[in-house]
Amino acid sequence: MTADRLTVLSGPAGVGKSTIVAYLREHHPDISHSVSVTTRPQRAGEVDGVDRHFVNGETFAEMVEKNALLEHAQYAGHWYGTPRHPVERLLEAGVPVLLEIEVQGARQVRRQMPDALLVFLKPPSWEELERRLRSRGTESADVIAARLATAQIELAAEDEFDATIVNTSVTEAAEALVTLMRGA
């Protein structure tokens, strides 16, 4: 595995990024997953510090001001970002690092770390993406509509990425990602 190269997994909300990462944690523990920070409310079943670091807007703004984030973006009314120092420490130690971030963040990583491998996770169809977002049951109709509108824009950015994986099966998509990371 090319450990000194950062891999970014991106794609629209609802495509299965978090599910892929959960699979990798279980089946490929040698890959370190960077834990993002967000101002959005914690969802049922999420663990602070494992799934994400949940912070308030003031704390997030301080992190941006101190250049403590590798990337950050506002998405569906909340801020998301990747703490810089844990990623840099892992890469320096030769540990493969995977970021699970939105398209805006992937673009920022590309500017700061041009050698990073950017992988786009795509749904098998628009209808399936919409079904996945609605079946979560965690967001209002307005938030879902905003996420779907953003998803249309993000899907158009696919060609900005180094590789695309269609998420028809979590196992297949996750293993395809590992193959890309090992071949990078």
Own/partner pairs, 48-51, CB within 8 angstroms, 24+ separation: 51/18
Query: Is the overall model pTM greater than 0.75, yes or no?
Result: yes
Quote the pLDDT of residue 37.
Answer: 96
pLDDT tens track, the chain, 184 positions:
444 679 999 998 889 998 999 999 999 999 998 899 999 999 888 899 988 999 999 999 999 999 999 999 887 789 999 999 999 999 999 888 999 998 989 999 999 899 999 999 999 998 888 888 888 777 788 888 888 888 899 999 999 999 999 999 999 999 999 999 988 5
Quote the pLDDT of residue 115.
Answer: 92
Q: Spell out the domain ranges in the chain.
A: 7-183
Distances (CA, A) of 149 to 76, 128, 130: 10, 15, 11
- Domain 7-183, CATH number (from 3.10.20.740, 3.40.50.300, 3.60.21.10, 1.10.3720.10): 3.40.50.300
Quote the pLDDT of residue 4.
Answer: 60
Do 100 and 9 meet the contact criterion of CB atoms below 8 Å apart? yes
By C-alpha distance, which of 184, 160, 178 is closest to 20?
A: 178
Quote the pLDDT of residue 169.
Answer: 95
By C-alpha distance, which of 142, 102, 104 is closest to 15?
A: 102
